[in-house]
Amino acid sequence: MGTTVFERRIPQPSVIEHALGGTSHSTFWIDDLPEALKPSRPKLGGTVVADLVVVGGGYTGLWTALLAKERNPDAHIVLVEAKRVGWAASGRNGGFCEASLTHGDENGKARWPKEMDVLHRLGMENLDAIEASEAKFGMDFHFERTGQLAPAVEEHQVEWLRDWADEAASNGEAEDIVFLDEAAVQASVNSPTYLAGVWEKRTNGMLHPARLAAELARVVEERGVEIFEHSPVRRLETPGSTGAVSVVTDGGRVDAKHAVLATNVFPSLLKRNRLMTVPVYDYVLMTEPLSAEQLASIGWNDRQGIGDMANQFHYYRLSKDNRILFGGYDAIYNYGRKVRESYENRPESWQRLGSHFFTTFPQLEGLRFSHQWAGAIDTSTQFTAFFGTARDHRVAYAAGFTGLGVGSTRFAAETMLDLLERRENERTTLEMVRKRPLPFPPEPAAAIGINATRWSLDRADHNRGKRNVLLKTLDALGLGFDS
Ligand SMILES: Cc1cc2nc3c(=O)[nH]c(=O)nc-3n(C[C@H](O)[C@H](O)[C@H](O)COP(=O)(O)OP(=O)(O)OC[C@H]3O[C@@H](n4cnc5c(N)ncnc54)[C@H](O)[C@@H]3O)c2cc1C
Q: How far is the CA of 103 from the centre of ligand 1 (A)?
A: 15
- What is the rounded distance in angstroms from the CA atom of residue 182 to the CA atom of residue 171? 24
Query: Is 88's C-beta closer than 6 angstroms to any atom of ligand 1?
Result: yes
Residues 6+ apart with CB under 8 A from 156: 464
Domain-embedded: residue 464? no
As a whole number of Å, the end-to-end CA separation of the chain is: 32
CATH code where residue 322 lies: 3.30.9.10
- Ligand 1 atom closest to 95 (CA): 8
Query: Is 406's C-beta closer than 6 angstroms to any atom of ligand 1?
Result: yes
- Where a domain ends, among 411, 434, 457? 434
- What is the rounded distance in angstroms from the CA atom of residue 465 to the CA atom of residue 456? 9
Query: Is 214's C-beta closer than 6 angstroms to any atom of ligand 1?
Result: no
- What is the rounded distance in angstroms from the CA atom of residue 318 to the CA atom of residue 336? 35
Same domain, 389 and 269: yes
Burial class (CB in 10 A: 0-12, 13-18, 19+), 137: middle
373-411 in b/e form (b: 16+ CB < 10 A) is bbbbbbbbbbbbbbbbebeeebbbbbbbbbbbbbbbbbb
- Ligand 1 atom closest to 60 (CA): 25
Query: Is 377's C-beta closer than 6 angstroms to any atom of ligand 1?
Result: yes
Same domain, 66 and 196: no
Model-level pTM? 0.96
Same domain, 169 and 288: yes
Same domain, 283 and 263: no
Q: Would you state the pLDDT for residue 463?
A: 63
Same domain, 186 and 245: no
Query: Is 378's C-beta closer than 6 angstroms to any atom of ligand 1?
Result: yes
pLDDT tens for the chain, 483 residues long, are 678 999 999 999 999 999 999 999 999 999 999 999 999 999 999 999 999 999 999 999 999 999 999 999 999 999 999 999 999 999 999 999 999 999 988 889 989 999 999 999 999 999 999 999 999 999 999 999 999 999 999 998 999 999 999 999 999 999 999 999 999 999 999 999 999 999 999 999 999 999 999 999 999 999 999 999 999 999 999 987 667 999 999 999 999 999 999 999 999 999 999 999 999 999 999 999 999 999 999 999 999 999 988 778 899 999 999 999 999 988 888 998 899 999 999 999 999 999 999 999 999 999 999 999 999 999 998 889 999 999 999 999 999 999 999 999 999 999 999 999 999 999 999 999 999 998 988 888 888 888 877 777 777 777 665 555 555 555 555 444 443
Domain total of the chain: 2
Query: Is 398's C-beta closer than 6 angstroms to any atom of ligand 1?
Result: no
> Range of 94's domain?
40-129+209-274+382-434
Same domain, 318 and 397: no
CA-CA-CA-CA dihedral for 156, 157, 159, 160, to nearest 10: 140
Q: Beta-carbon neighbour count of residue 230 at 10 Å? A: 16
For ligand 1, atom 31, which residue shows the shortest CA distance? 58
- What is the rounded distance in angstroms from the CA atom of residue 9 to the CA atom of residue 330? 18
Q: How far is the CA of 61 from the centre of ligand 1 (A)?
A: 10
Domain-embedded: residue 231? yes
Same domain, 294 and 337: yes
Q: Would you state the pLDDT for residue 317?
A: 98
CA-CA-CA-CA dihedral for 103, 321, 309, 27, to nearest 10: -60
Query: Is 96's C-beta closer than 6 angstroms to any atom of ligand 1?
Result: yes
CATH code where residue 413 lies: 3.50.50.60
Same domain, 57 and 175: no
Domain-embedded: residue 245? yes
Q: Would you state the pLDDT for residue 134?
A: 98
Query: Is 100's C-beta closer than 6 angstroms to any atom of ligand 1?
Result: no
Strands 177-180 and 204-206: unpaired
Same domain, 369 and 310: yes
Q: Would you state the pLDDT for residue 436?
A: 93
Same domain, 287 and 354: yes
